[in-house]
């Protein structure tokens, strides 16, 4: 892994000079700012969760468009321009290249979410009558929600890098990434509500329940930190990146 820091620095520089990076950042922050404003606007009309808990319930909306935008060019563009083969002729290994691209995208993804940490503090500063016991100061939902974003982002970015390794077309890579994220986040939470009684589903139902993303989010946003989601996202991230490395090696050696 001697060449990993140099490769990571290069990938971060490429993100810094890319217009798509800033477009994704502006769209993300505008969208999340609008969502936070709507949460505050509707809060208090009925008994509901703290504002930050409601805010994180729509985390999948930015995930669906930001993750594909950040990752779809990572390996697909290298394959389309033929630069991936040139990179593999250097002393850097395939694993180092994949990890560098993954790390750069993940760091940028987390940086975007980190900027939204200022939203509740801006609201506390400008809204009158925000006392120390205000729901806006609910640190449990704030810390738990961002902890969930950090953990789940490991797997989401890995899926984006994997999708980019499967094709030379960046648009196709983005669509593949979106599809995989949709299946993982939405479909996994719909199956338990179908009331399937087939014998095969009864056997896999505990696994399906374990994969429910919104259940993880609900626990974290209430300040309940469970180690099982960390293991789930981390182990699957390692698996996906390992498969991505094998895919890249097979495509470049073909």
Distance CA 118, CA 29 (A): 11
> Encoding tokens for residue 198?
């087939």
Burial class (CB in 10 A: 0-12, 13-18, 19+), 212: middle
Name the range with the highest mean pLDDT among 65-79, 138-152, 163-177, 193-207: 163-177
Distance CA 244, CA 237 (A): 10
pTM: 0.85
**pLDDT > 90? residue 212:** no
Span 90-143, pLDDT tens digits: 777 888 899 999 999 999 999 999 998 888 777 777 766 665 566 666 677 778
Those residues whose C-beta lies under 8 Å from the C-beta of residue 43, and which sit 6 or more positions away, are 51, 54, 135
Q: Which residues of 32-66 are buried (b: 16+ CB within 10 A; e: fewer)?
A: beebbeebbeeeeeeeebbbbbbbbbebbebbbbb
Per-chain mean pLDDT for the chain: 80
Q: Map residue 254 onto helix, strand or coil.
A: coil
Q: What is the mean pLDDT of residues 41-64?
A: 74
Confidence of residue 252 (pLDDT cuts 50, 70, 90): low
Span 58-84, pLDDT tens digits: 888 888 988 998 888 888 888 887 777
């Amino acid at each position: 892994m001697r060449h990993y820091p140099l490769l990571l620095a290069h990938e971060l520089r490429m993100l810094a000079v890319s217009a798509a990076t800033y477009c994704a950042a502006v769209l993300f922050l505008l969208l999340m700012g609008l969502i936070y404003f709507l949460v505050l606007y509707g809060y208090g009309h009925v008994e509901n969760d703290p504002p930050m808990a409601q805010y994180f319930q729509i985390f999948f909306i930015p995930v669906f468009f930001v993750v594909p935008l950040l990752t779809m060019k990572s390996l697909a563009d290298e394959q389309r321009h033929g630069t991936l083969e040139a990179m593999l002729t250097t002393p850097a290994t395939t694993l180092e290249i994949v990890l560098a691209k993954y790390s750069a995208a993940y760091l940028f993804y987390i940086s975007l979410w980190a900027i939204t940490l200022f939203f509740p503090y801006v609201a506390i500063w400008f809204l009158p009558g925000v006392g120390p016991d205000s729901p806006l100061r609910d640190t449990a939902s704030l810390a738990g929600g961002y902890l969930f974003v950090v953990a789940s982002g490991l797997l989401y970015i890995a899926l984006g890098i994997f999708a980019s390794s499967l094709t030379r077309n960046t648009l196709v890579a983005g669509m593949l990434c979106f599809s995989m994220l949709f299946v993982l986040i939405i479909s996994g939470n719909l199956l338990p509500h179908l009331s399937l009684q087939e014998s095969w589903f009864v056997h896999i139902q505990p696994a399906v329940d374990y994969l429910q993303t919104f259940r993880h989010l609900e626990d974290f946003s209430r300040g309940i930190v469970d180690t099982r989601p960390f293991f789930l996202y981390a182990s699957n991230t390692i698996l996906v990146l390992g498969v991505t490395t094998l895919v890249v090696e097979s495509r470049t050696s073909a």
